[in-house]
Amino acid sequence: MTDTANNLSPGYRRLAIVSAIGGLAGYALVYTIFAAALNQISPICHDSDTLIGWLFRVSMAAFVVCVLLGGKYSDTIGKLPVLMVGCLLMALGSLGFGCINTYPMAIVMSLVMGAGGGFTEAIAVGIIADVTSPKRRTSIMNYGQVFFALGAVAGPLSVTWLIAINIDYWRWAFVLTAALCVIAALVIFAAIRKREERPVGDAQHGDWRSVFKDRAVIVLSLGVLFYVAAESGQANWLARYFKEDLATGAPLAAASVALFWGGIGIGRYFAVWTARYLSDYAIIVVAHGFALICQITLLTTQSETVALPAVILLGFALGPAWPTIVSRASALHPVQSGTVLAVVVSAGAVGAAIFPPAIGQAADHVGMRNALWVCVAMLIINLAIFIPLLLKNRGQSSGR
């Protein structure tokens, strides 16, 4: 969608945002129920962190391919049709994953869910960016991501509740998620029937050169890569860390994922307000600095009493970073917004494809606690990237 927000009717703008939020919430459920049910999925993977890591790797590989394809075609056929395809693929993959009994089937369904996520996340964010005025973009982007976090909380909590009833009921979380993704697809279909956007990206169809030549796009893409490496590296192994290193029960281990994403949601909601007063780069730097302190605290404590609030605060600190970085990227090439966001978000998927599996492989040799120090390194790298940008842009308009 490349029409300005002022050219869209309020009713359509609301319907488009609801469609985007539905897609984000669906992807949040798909992404987080897997992490929450990790200890129950483990026997299917022969209790090998390395084999579990391959599920992450396959899912993110499919994500990268589809986010790039989705970004390319969304600039020409519109974002809503691509978003609907993503929700339907997530529904299929989630339903299939709820029925798996073998490791090869888990690989296939992880691939399908990853493909659906690739067609969903960047496109949903792009829709919100397209229908929002530049002055409110960072605030609304964080607000939209609050709903991602709500889905990310609801998923792990549902897994916690289900396995507390029966250890095998975790499968129902995937089945219910599939149903919700279908509902989201129906809402998107309603928006398609009323859509007002007229994509004008045909002149740049297939031309990625201007995007890849833009240094700002590359820098922001690297920032997203290292951020997602830290976030997903911790989130995907959080339940395992609580059970193995902090010796908690299975329900509390699963609930730790919900607490983490709850913190992220609160942080993003808080950023809706702070974005009015702080520059984008200030928000990003403060977020990473506070997250670094919380991450170190989480990895050095031996007490679940300390670890639980540390998890919440870590999520709170990380929360505003991703939406704010993406907000900066969304305005760089308005005619090719889908392509730009696809490049930036796919960089994050690369981080998620490389680092969580690598942490799993390392954990098989050095233990999960030691392996998770990779997340600390990623946060330090991002501070090295964004502190100079903050200093360079001090006093300039943040462009929100």
351-364 pLDDT per residue, tens: 887 888 889 889 88
Helix residue ranges, H only, 131-249:
137-165, 170-193, 209-212, 215-235, 238-244
- Identify whether the C-beta of residue 79 lies closer than 8 Å to the C-beta of residue 130: yes
| Domain parsing of the chain, residue ranges | 10-194+208-390
The closest of 88, 293, 281 to 192, measured between CA atoms, is: 88
Query: Quick one: angle between helices 250-274 and 10-36, nearest 10?
Result: 150
* pLDDT for position 239: 84
Rounded average pLDDT over 192-201 = 64
From the number of C-beta atoms within 10 Å of its C-beta (0-12, 13-18, 19+), residue 165 rates as exposed
Q: What is the DSSP letter of 206?
A: T
- Residue 333 vs residue 310, higher pLDDT: 310
Q: Is the pLDDT of residue 46 over 90?
A: no
Question: When comparing pLDDT for 204 and 378, which is higher?
Answer: 378
The answer to whether residue 311 scores a pLDDT higher than 50 is yes
Residue 169 is predicted with a pLDDT of 87
Banded pLDDT at 160 (limits 50, 70, 90): confident
Cα–Cα distance, 371 to 130 (Å, whole number): 40
Cα of first residue to Cα of last residue in the chain, in angstroms, is 19
Q: What is the mean pLDDT of the chain?
A: 84
The band of 167, judged by pLDDT with boundaries at 50, 70 and 90, is: confident
CA distance 298 to 7: 48
Confidence label for 17 from pLDDT (cuts 50, 70 and 90) = confident
Element (H, E) at 305: helix 304-318
Predicted local distance difference test score (pLDDT) of residue 5: 54
CA–CA gap between residue 111 and residue 320 (Å, rounded): 28
pLDDT band at 400 (very low <50, low <70, confident <90, very high): very low
Q: What's the pLDDT at 252?
A: 84
Instruction: Classify each residue of 221-231 as buried b or exposed e, where b means 16 or more C-beta atoms within 10 Å of its C-beta.
Output: bbbbbbbbbbb
Q: What is the pLDDT of residue 7?
A: 67
Asked if residues 89 and 62 have their Cβ atoms less than 8 Å apart, the reply is no
Q: What is the CA radius of gyration of the chain?
A: 20
Which DSSP string corresponds to 62-130?
HHHHHHHHHHHHHHHH-HHHHHHHHHHHHHHHHHHHTT--SHHHHHHHHHHHHHHHHTTHHHHHHHHHH
> Are 26 and 180 spatial neighbours (Cβ–Cβ below 8 Å)?
yes
Is the pLDDT score of 102 beyond 70? yes
Is the pLDDT at 343 greater than 90? The verdict is: no
d(CA 332, CA 285): 20
pTM for the whole thing?
0.74
Q: For residue range 234-259, what is the model confidence (pLDDT) as tens digits?
A: 988 888 899 888 988 877 887 888 89
Q: What is the pLDDT of residue 202?
A: 43
Residue 301: CB partners within 8 Å, gap ≥ 6?
307, 310
- Model confidence at 197, in pLDDT bands (50, 70, 90)? low
Kindly report the CATH number that applies to the domain delimited by 10-194+208-390. Answer: 1.20.1250.20
